[in-house]
Structure 1
């Protein structure tokens, strides 16, 4: 009887620990630390495009349920260039793009930066991580298209979460004409499992249970590779071979699935330092995609 009691005690303790890990995983996934205006002020980061000497408009993308996604809208330097919609990664915000904003403006007629749900200055709290983010990007594309009188193409540039979301959104609307995906992942389970593994915690059964609970809360993991297979537009996938969050093999499979896919593997790059490693090669790849969507400027006379 005493042995049975100890077994039951250890089993109960194991269940409590498992539930605690699942709840902690879900909380961190749904409520990441925000990089918003307060964070920028605290670390001496620019708080908006004016901080990098750039004039801008700011507006709100209103979504169902009282969700408000703040947007920065900047005029580019290339009148016949595409509209670039920049979508940040998990735990980041539109602030991500400010240090290199001028380089994106050189490629575009217009640059649009958004805070995804639960990130930056978006309201209320709680990330999308699935259908909601995809629907938000599609809605953003429709809003931008409605205010475009030039007829210029729209290209989504995304990192990590933003990369996979951009691919998924492009598979659901004809309003996106090209995608640059930096460090995309196949499904939400991939980065979730790898982040847990890096902390030395058990992936199984924490991740499967966490994903199940997220599904019940309306956050359905979706396949970026399946979405890429439906694309009929240029897709550039940039990936580091030292990325411990998004495996390069998955990124290659995503690029290979697309009919107009291109894959650029950056040696020794992790999850976010691709341009630090090979800026010239990656700039050339991005420029090639953008140039393929940009009409030649007509010469006078």
Structure 2
């Protein structure tokens, strides 16, 4: 064999190894996001539990049995004893700590708010399941809440989890409304955008990583059955409010529009100039986002029961 041909073969093997390692690293990073725990909050001098809000809120910490393991949650009493229970489900790389800044528009109109950590996030054990079956964990959480109206409020990853939970609830719980902040249809979209924004390679390694994750999590390389717009179409008359910044670089507003359009009783509220992570940190975006959520929770108190 000519020396140059051997060199080409060696380079080819090296390239395959490099791509394989990059795909494995990408898959590991996606299923093991940074943990936003109480210690994370303390290090950044932000509230780490409801008792550290201004003003402080009383709360109860509890665990419930998800579809695989015990998961931690907080129960925060609201100001309206006749209002709904609002269940907040966070996004990828976040935790129930991320829900604290969203409580202001919720608690005045709610009986209580429930915040929980998805598997592989916050203080929950395991690895992230990327929205493949966390709706089962959410439904298990609803089983612990007893009777009464419920509003599901999720953002990013948690938005899709909330939509699917409501779509598959089959009338077991009194779900009066679903509120989604910055949802997406397929997980490849936000994964690609997050990696691209970090200046990291994604064109070859990411599709391989997502295919491998899909196989491992039981949805196959093409993520069969994941499309959030198709789940939204099964909500029946349950109101779906989609809140989306039109400058979101992670989850494009086109996805939010498609999800809202697919729901029989859906609507899209556009936050002009809003991004993905600044709706609750920039006052110009926080005010319209908070109003949309408060309106949805308030309306749920008087809404008739519409099982999906």
Report the TM-score, using the length of structure 1 for normalisation. 0.90
Partner of 1:13 in structure 2?
14
TM alignment of 1:48-197, pairs within 5 A: 48-52=49-53, 53-65=56-68, 67-123=69-125, 125-144=126-145, 146=146, 148=147, 151=148, 153-173=149-169, 174=171, 175=173, 176-197=175-196
* Residue of structure 1 aligned with 2:271, choices 249, 266, 269: 266
Partner of 2:46 in structure 1?
45
Higher helix share: 1
Relative to 1, partners in 2 of residues 1:38 and 1:291: Cα closer, same or farther, differing over 3 Å? closer
Question: Is 1:129–1:219's contact at 8 Å kept on the other side of the alignment?
Answer: no
Q: CA deviation at 1:64?
A: 4.3
Q: Deviations over 1:54-79 (max 9, x none)?
A: 111111012344x2210100111012
Q: Which has the higher contact order (CA 8 A, sep 6+)?
A: 2
Question: Is 2:105–2:294's contact at 8 Å kept on the other side of the alignment?
Answer: no
Relative to 1, partners in 2 of residues 1:192 and 1:230: Cα closer, same or farther, differing over 3 Å? same
Q: Distance in 2 between matches of 1:128 and 1:12?
A: 32
Question: Is 1:168–1:227's contact at 8 Å kept on the other side of the alignment?
Answer: yes
Partner of 2:3 in structure 1?
2
- Give the unaligned 5+ runs of structure 1: 297-301
Q: Count the aligned residue pairs.
A: 289
Q: CA deviation at 1:110?
A: 0.8
In the alignment, is residue 246 of structure 1 matched against residue 242 of structure 2?
no
Partner of 1:292 in structure 2?
299
Report the TM-score, using the length of structure 2 for normalisation. 0.88
Q: Deviations over 1:23-46 (max 9, x none)?
A: 111111111110112212222222
- Give the unaligned 5+ runs of structure 2: 304-308
Q: Distance in 2 between matches of 1:58 and 1:5?
A: 63
